[in-house]
Amino acid sequence: MTISAASKNNFPKARFGPSYLSTTMEKIFKWSASGIHCERLEGDASERSYFRVSQKNSGGAHGMEVQKSLQSLIIMQLEKPVIEGETDFTRVLKFLRALDLPAPELFYYDIPKGLLFLEDCGTMTLEDQLNASPQSKAQLYRQAVELLVCMQSRATHSIDSTCPAYHRKFDVKKLMWEFNFMLDYYVDDFCDSPLENLARKELSEAFTPVCESLAAEKLCFTHRDYHSRNLMLDQGHLILIDFQDARMGPCQYDLVSLLKDSYVKIGDTLAEELIDFYIQLKEKEEGQKVDREKFGRIFDEMSIQRNLKAVGTFAYQSVKKNNNRYKDFIAPTLGYVQKTLMRQFKGTSLQKVLLKNIPGLDQEGTFDL
């Protein structure tokens, strides 16, 4: 068995070592221990760790039918083992796959160690493909919108208590909590600009109506993080990942995540075309017309809330986790908020209060979007 240098350095953080891996891969997947290679992968903004395990010999596994051609898989290491076994990730995964939606297959789950052995969906995210083939941007995003409408339709109509999303929704309390999270970690900590109680009160009074408007929308299944880094591209097909935080909320939530992406610039013209494409698909799927004016208003409100939430997450990673990989995405994400405020909320109390109290929003024209 071979372990890459990066993996060797990180194995102390893993709840498994070469001996465990060799034994497990041979016992469960019938792999030859001598041909196993393991490498640690770059993680996300969570406490989970990821490893790619592959076998060099071309003979393949000779165990169960599903594993005959299995040459690699992904080990997801949970932050800590879950005694009862099932996790939000495994529950949502089962729910999505039962609806024939593209999500990784779970081959084996070592409950005591908190290790999930998952289908390897490759190394190409939607973001990677967009960087490699920018001329394919429109086609790839139309594909992502098609998958989004399909997921929302199937999951919303089929949701039941077995799926964690059934028990969670974007209500006023949750939406305001995310807003205050941003104030705590971006404004107070990251910008070192603690807000006075009066400013907090002013911000709450201005932002609560936005959250009330969003919470009043018809509930729809939302992935909760539907963007270019959470869509894998394998043999031309998009695959959903990182869906464990799914919850019920406005249908615009995931569309905002996709089109107001902190990691990829789409451009206003294409974004408008994709919103129109989404509405067309939704009308066809549901058999009724969408109120486009209201849809656009909710989309803009959701854009402000969602992107401010993302800014809070990026700041939290920096100040609390000493993870600075996301710092450079704060400015362009604020840029989405600034642009939406200027275009749709110019002169309103919402715009005035946010620009007054959130550092960076008042720097007109500094964001390259």
The reply to whether 365 falls in a domain is no
Stated as kind and residue range, the H or E segment containing 340 is: helix 330-344
Higher pLDDT, 59 or 182: 182
Shared-domain flag, residues 17 and 41: yes
Does residue 143 have a pLDDT over 80? yes
Shared-domain flag, residues 142 and 54: no
Q: How many domains does the chain have?
A: 2
Per-residue model confidence (pLDDT) at position 10: 46
The reply to whether 329 falls in a domain is yes
Neighbours of 157 (CB within 10 A): 11
Shared-domain flag, residues 56 and 147: no
| Average pLDDT score over residue span 314-342 | 96
- Based on the number of CB atoms within 10 Å of its own CB, is 144 exposed (0-12), middle (13-18) or buried (19 or more)? buried
CATH code for the domain of 215? 3.90.1200.10
The Cα–Cα gap between 304 and 310 comes to: 10
Shared-domain flag, residues 205 and 270: yes
- As a whole number, the mean pLDDT across the chain is 92
Per-residue model confidence (pLDDT) at position 65: 45
Per-residue model confidence (pLDDT) at position 56: 75
The reply to whether 269 falls in a domain is yes
Per-residue model confidence (pLDDT) at position 35: 83
Quick: pLDDT tens for 78-115: 999 998 889 999 999 999 999 999 999 999 999 999 99
Task: Decide which of 62, 84, 119 is a domain's last residue.
Answer: 119
Higher pLDDT, 277 or 2: 277
Task: Decide which of 119, 149, 174 is a domain's last residue.
Answer: 119
Shared-domain flag, residues 193 and 317: yes
Shared-domain flag, residues 115 and 169: no
Shared-domain flag, residues 55 and 182: no
Helix (H, G, I), strand (E, B) or coil at 255: helix
Task: Decide which of 84, 119, 154 is a domain's last residue.
Answer: 119
The reply to whether 7 falls in a domain is yes
The reply to whether 250 falls in a domain is yes
Quick: pLDDT tens for 180-230: 999 999 999 999 999 999 999 999 999 999 999 999 999 999 999 999 999
| All residues at 6 or more sequence positions from 3 whose CB lies less than 8 Å from its CB, including other chains | 11, 18, 37, 38, 39
Range of the domain at 6: 2-119
The reply to whether 236 falls in a domain is yes
Shared-domain flag, residues 221 and 337: yes
Per-residue confidence band for 47, with pLDDT thresholds at 50, 70 and 90? confident
